[in-house]
Amino acid sequence: MAKVKTEAPAKISTNPIMRYVRETRAELTKVSWPTREDWIRLSGIVLIVTVVMAIILGVADAAGSWIMELLLRI
């Protein structure tokens, strides 16, 4: 009987760090990256929301500080 030659299995690294890097690179190729216009628009939205929230929190902090001053004077 003739022996059937099988291909050697692909060499799989057992090093967990190398496996992590290889799998991460494979996943990054599947990512749908935003266009430059999308990136600029979304970054602008994030900056605007951040500034608005900073103003709201600053006003709330100032109001809280003013109320605490009034309460501590009593």
Tally of structural domains, the chain: 1
Q: What local confidence, expressed as pLDDT, does residue 5 receive?
A: 64
Torsion-angle region of 45 (φ positive above 0: left; ψ -120 to 50: alpha; else: beta)? alpha
Residue 24 belongs to a domain: no
Per-residue pLDDT tens over the stretch 12-31? 667 899 999 999 999 999 99
**Residue 45: is its pLDDT beyond 70?**
yes
Q: Which two tokens stand for residue 34?
A: 């935003």
| 63 Cβ contact partners less than 8 Å away, ≥ 6 residues apart | none
Q: pTM for the whole thing?
A: 0.58
Only one residue has tokens 């190398």, namely 18
- pLDDT at position 13, please? 62
In a domain, 14, yes or no: no
Helices marked H in 1-74? 16-30, 36-73
Q: Is 26 part of a structural domain of the chain?
A: no
